[in-house]
Structure 1
Amino acid sequence: MLKQLYIRNFTLIERLDMTFREGFSVITGETGAGKSIILGAIGLLKGQRADSKLIKRGADKCVIEAHFDLSRYGMEAFFIDNDVEYDPDDCIVRREITASGKSRAFVNDTPVPLSVLKELGEQLIDVHSQHQNLLLGTQDFQMEVVDIIADDRHLINDYRAAFDKYRLKQYQLDEMRRQIENNKANADFLQYQYDELSAASLVEDEQKELEALSNQMSHYEDIKTALYQADNALSGEGNGVTENLRTAINALHSIESVMPKAGELASRMDADYIDLKDIADEVEAQLDNVDFDPKRLDNINDRLDKIYSLEKKYHLDTVEQLIHMRDTLRKQLENIENGDGDLRILEGEVEKTHKEAEAKAATLSEARHKAARKIEKEISQRLVSLGMPNIQFVICLTSTDLTPSGADKVAYMFSANKNVPLQPAAQVASGGEIARLMLSLKAMISGAVKLPTIIFDEIDTGVSGKIAERMAEIMCEMGNNERQVISITHLPQIAAMGATHYKVFKEDKDDVTVSTMTMLSAEDRVREIAQMLSGSDISEAAINNAKALLKYK
């Protein structure tokens, strides 16, 4: 629950430090006194968008800070998941806005993204303002109420997993159909391309080898001349390197008996001779093998021209890429040929996942129907006690095609009078009837969700007298059920029911007007409620009426 609210330099509020109590509290004040400003500050703590224009004139920063007691609400998992320190007895939420427009959010002095602040705020405070009555006409809100009472989160998760699986298979089926249709439309062209590439009998690394051969044969004369010169230098009669080396070796061996060092040198030269002789033989063999065949060169160049032509045609750079394209084309042609069979298999998978999703949706619908009957019964009972004896309230759930939220369409049907047919509640209910219906729904939801703090902003619009008193009793019941309920009201019947009473008012301070808030004493409450009853001139009768409403002794 909200224990303390601190506001500094926010619009007309210079400084406000207010303590709140558990149970049912009320806030009163004249129109324009600043109640909406306080709600705006709380909205910022719930992650609403910040604007530097909200900063009080002349200030460089505004700060809004709230302290919460979370000890009865089991929220530790949220703090662990978001790596924020958990203090159940004093959770501090703070928002700071600078004049430059920069906004920062903190939870227990840990900086957090606005998304985390918003998620936490939704679990801490529910603010019900008059515009939220418009939610009654939306499918999302109506179904959310049903799901909350059904406590069907696990069923929704199971259904969504099955639905997502079905949607994925359906997407794959649609893509396969599209691909098959495209392939069939292009089948002749694909076959032509495949036949052309297949007829080329492409081989990996072929292009590199052919280019090397073409280059070599194009330089035949240079190669022949160089090999001849090398062979003559190595093996030529009388001046060949190998013959001269052999002569040197023999000469050294001839004197090794008288000069051992000569034998060592000869032995070293023997190894060199063997290597050099082997090289000379290889050069001679290459010379014998070098031959120029113009026809073969033409064949090689023709083959290269074919490869280059295919690469240019298909905008590719290598034979390997052409081979990959050929193989891809083959697979596409095989898919066209086998596509109907694959299509039937995937159609079966789609049908299977669709049935699984339908089964999950049926289970979810059953839970929703049970919850709808429960809501109808409780809301009708509450509305009767709120002065609507002839109330008819029915939740119509009808089947639809599968959607991300299930296979149900919901409509809240309403009639407040005898012999008047049921019609959509948002269309036919008056302002006062809508207020009572929304209060009843909120009371029911709060019991299921266990929200720590609920703030009603003038939910009593359109009601008065005994009905207002009964609405106050409902809010009291909610406040006595381990939650904190705060009602901003203009009705004395509701104001008198609060266990704690706060007043918002404006006052002149120096040369500016500021809004402030105070907790009223017992005597101040009497005067405030008397003023609400009679206006600015408080009569003795109004004082007595106020005391009666307060059960003053």
Structure 2
Amino acid sequence: MLAKLSIKNYALINNLNVSFGEGFTCITGETGAGKSILLGGLSLVLGNRADLSSLRDKNSKCIIEAEFQIAKYDLSSFFEKNELEYDDLTIIRREIHPSGKSRAFINDSPVTLNILSDLGSSLIDVHSQHQTMQLTEADFQLRVIDALAENGSLLSDYKQQLKTYKRYEKELSALLEQQREAIKEHDYNTFLLEELQSISLKQGMQEALEEEFEQLNNVENILEHLSNGHQLLNDEQVGLVNLLTELKQISGKLAAFGSQYSEINSRIQSLFIEADDIATEFQNLQEGAEANPQLLEEVNGKLQQLYDLQKKHGVQEVSELIDIRNSLAEKVEITENLDSDIQTKEKKLQESKGKLQSLANELLKNRNKVIPQLKKQLESSLKPLGMPSATFQIELKESKEFKSTGKDELTFLFSANKGGSYGELKKVASGGELSRIMLTIKAILAKYENLPTMMFDEIDTGVSGEISNRMGEIMQDMSKTMQVFSITHLPQVASKGNHHYKVFKEEDSEGTQTQMRKLTAEERVSELAEMLGGKDISDSAMAHARQLLA
């Protein structure tokens, strides 16, 4: 509920501080006293756009601050979502600077106007004759029916399932588009993949092939060098192996004369073993090396194929070709598996659709069950409000489309006169009729929903005393479970309030200012008497005022 309101430097208000209580609060004042200014200031902390012309002193900033007790509104998730500090006593502040810059704060944390507006709509519902068009909207009408049907939990399940259904629809659409694109590329990708698979790509294969090609292509030079080397190692007179054999014999004889000779002998023995092994390896290599034109052609062919593929794909390494091959294999596999994926997704979509349809059917069933009750409550409540012949035709039909609130299409028709034709509210109901219908609907909603503070702005304009008395009773009844404000010109309504505030103008050295204060019991009698009979208050008016309050 709204606990405090502070307004500084706004229109005719210089500095206003006022506290409010629970229940039904009435605000009265002469025409032009500034009741609309008060409402305008309040609207700024609810997220409305600021107008620089509303600054009283153009050189100073305007500050509007409101304190709300929000414990019963279950808004902790809103604060968490917007990374705001939650407090049961929440303070909203709005600043409008002379430069035109506007700033908004929730519990001293700066916020955007969108966030402020979202929170504001959960705290105060301002209702005037100019704001009854909400009543003509199907979403609002359906909300009333759902409140009576207690569809809150069911509607939440439906919306969650709708989100799942929409996600499956989107995913299926993406798969089908992917399939269309993949089919266009599938044949070409398959050709490229087969081309890469035909060469059996492996890490290091290019180096191995290039080495093998060099050996086969230079086999005559290799054989010549191997022959020369073998001769140097094995010549009977000057061959390295024979020379090392003689040296080994000499060092063997020296080994017995001391450790230093023994060490030399060991080293010469190692040299001999290594030289003899190299001589054997030369002989083996010489025997193994032979011209093989067919193998040379085959190796050269593989190399050229590898070079061609590297050039074709714009790479230089076999590892890059392997990556391309793997990527193509994945694309081809995905394309070939898309049919299975699409079938799986279609099955999930149909299952989700079935659950969604079941929930939509349940919503329709519950709504149809309470429509007669809503019709009866509306018509009976409007009779004492000067609309004795008002009747409604409310029907639901199932549409083909899943909407955010179900599949129902609502027809909400109204007739104010007996035997009159039915039409849409926005076409056949007058402003005064819409106000009374909205008041009745809000009163019904108050029994089923935890509504925010309700601010009725002169919705009783143009109605008789008897009807206004009943409107006041309705607002009074609503205030038993919520905070209700009524800005009114009618004493019958003002007398029903638990609290009575008067808005008035006063003049001082700084000019004309709008002020507001809570009336005492006796002041309240005088205010009602003045509303009944004018400035010249008569004894009968005072008596009537006391009677109204009693």
Alignment of 1:69-108 (within 5 A): 69-70=69-70, 88=88, 90-96=89-95, 98=97, 101=101, 103-107=103-107
Q: Does 1:383 align with 2:382?
A: yes
Cα contact 1:206–1:319 (8 A) shared by 2: no
> C-alpha displacement at 1:133, in angstroms?
0.6
Q: Deviations over 1:226-277 (max 9, x none)?
A: 9759957994758887777666665444322222122134435655765676
Task: Please say which of residues 429-438 and 118-127 is displaced more in the overlay.
Answer: 118-127
Q: 1:249-306 CA deviation, whole Å, 9 max, x = no partner?
A: 6544432222212213443565576567656755665566566656655544444444
Number of the residue aligned with 2:360: 361
Local SS of the residue matching 1:412: strand
308-317 vs 485-494, which deviates more? 308-317
Q: Which residue is equivalent to 2:140? A: 141
Mapped partners of 1:115, 1:239: distance in 2? 101
Amino acid at match of 1:57: D
Q: Match for residue 154 of structure 2?
A: 155
Letter in 2 for 1:319: L
Moved more, 91-100 or 17-26: 91-100
Q: Is contact 1:204-1:319 (8 Å) kept?
A: no
Query: What secondary structure does 1:21 align onto?
Result: coil
Matches within 5 A, 1:224-263: 224=222, 231=229, 235=233, 250-263=249-262
- CA, structure 1 residues 84+348, in 2 after alignment: closer, same or farther (shift >3 Å)? closer
Range 113-122 or range 431-440, more displaced: 113-122
2:536 corresponds to: 539
Q: Which moved more, 1:140-149 or 1:262-271?
A: 262-271
Q: Deviations over 1:421-468 (max 9, x none)?
A: 222122111111000000111111122223352111222244333222
Give CA-to-partner distance per residue, 1:354-379, whole Å, 9 cap, x none. Answer: 22221111111122223333322222
Specify the alignment match of 2:514 in structure 1: 515
Work out the CA distance in 1 between the residues paired with 2:444 and 2:289. 100
AA partner of residue 451 (structure 1)? L
Could you tell me which runs of 5 or more consecutive residues in structure 1 were left unpaired when the two chains were aligned: none
1:165-176 to 2 correspondence within 5 Å? 165-175=164-174
1:490-513: CA deviation from partner (whole Å, max 9, x where unpaired): 334323333322233444554555
Question: Which residue is 2:127 aligned to?
Answer: 128
Q: Could you report, residue by residue, the CA deviation over 1:289-346 in whole angstroms, capped at 9, with x for unpaired residues?
A: 566656655544444444555566567774325533653575477459xx4x876666
Alignment partner, residue 201 of structure 2: 205
Per-residue CA shift, 1:70-95, capped at 9, x if unaligned? 5666666766777766654x443444
8 A contact 2:145–2:370 mirrored in 1: yes
For the 8 Å contact 2:530–2:541, the answer to whether it is kept is no
Q: Which residue of 1 aligns with 2:322?
A: 320
CA–CA separation in structure 2 for the residues paired with 1:430 and 1:46 = 28
Offset of residue 386 of structure 1: 0.8
1:214 aligned to which of 210, 228, 251: 210
Q: 1:268 to 1:48 in 2, by over 3 A?
A: farther
SS at structure 1 position matched to 2:409: strand
RMSD of aligned Cα (Å): 4.2
CA deviation map 1:41-77 (0-9, x unaligned): 4334334456777655355544333333456666667
Q: 1:96 to 1:277 in 2, by over 3 A?
A: farther
Distance (Å, rounded) in 1 between the aligned partners of 2:282 and 2:55: 94
Taking structure 2 as the reference length, the TM-score comes to 0.81
CA distance in 2, matches of 1:158, 1:307: 60
% identical equivalent positions: 35
Partner residue in 2 for 1:439: 439
1:464 alignment partner in structure 2:
464
2:396 aligns with: 397
CA contact (8 A) 1:400 1:409 kept: yes
For residue 544 of structure 2, what is the aligned residue in structure 1? 548
Say how many residue pairs are matched. 541
Give the SS at the match of 1:121.
helix
Separation in 2 of the partners of 1:48 and 1:276?
99
C-alpha contact 2:35 2:503 (8 A) present in aligned 1: yes
Are 2:18 and 1:14 equivalent residues in the alignment?
no
Asked whether the 8 Å contact 1:230–1:283 carries over to 2, the reply is no
Secondary structure of 1:257's aligned partner = helix
**Partners of 1:16 and 1:229 in 2: CA distance:** 115
CA distance in 1, matches of 2:359, 2:273: 87
Distance (whole Å) between structure 2 residues aligned to residue 221 and residue 395 of structure 1: 99
Q: Is the 8 A contact 1:176 1:343 kept in 2?
A: yes
Residue 214 of structure 1 aligns to which amino acid in structure 2? Answer: E
Q: For residues 461-481 of structure 1, what are the alpha-carbon distances to aligned partners after superposition, in whole Å with 9 as ceiling and x for unaligned?
A: 4433322221111111112x1
Secondary structure of 2:255's match? coil
| Displacement of 1:33 | 4.0
Task: Classify the secondary structure of the residue corresponding to 1:256.
Answer: helix
Match of 1:194 in 2: 190
**Partner SS state of residue 420, structure 2:** coil
Partner of 2:67: 67
Once the two structures are superposed, residues 209-241 of structure 1 have per-residue CA deviations (whole angstroms, 9 ceiling, x without a partner) of 246523663585599499759957994758887
CA contact (8 A) 2:129 2:431 kept: no
Alignment-mate amino acid for residue 255 of structure 1: L
Please show how residues 393-432 of structure 1 align to structure 2 within 5 Å.
393-401=392-400, 402-432=402-432
Q: Return the letter of the residue paired with 1:29.
A: G
**Could you say what secondary structure the match of 2:105 adopts?**
strand
**Is residue 168–residue 349 contact of structure 2 (8 Å, CA) maintained in 1?**
yes
C-alpha deviation, 1:172, in angstroms: 4.7
Aligned partners of 1:266 and 1:149: how far apart in 2? 112
Q: Secondary structure at the match of 2:394?
A: strand
Whether contact under 8 Å (2:58, 2:98) holds in the other structure is no
Counterparts of 1:170 and 1:468, CA distance in 2: 53
Instruction: Give the letter for the 2:541 counterpart.
Output: N
Deviation at 1:540, TM superposition (A): 3.6
**1:495 aligned partner:** 494
Contact 1:173/1:346 (CA < 8 Å) preserved in 2? yes
Instruction: Spell out, residue by residue over 1:120-167, the C-alpha distance to the aligned partner (whole angstroms, 9 max, x if none).
Output: 433332222334311122122111222223221211122233333444
Structure 2: distance between partners of 1:145 and 1:79:
27
TM-score by length of 1: 0.81
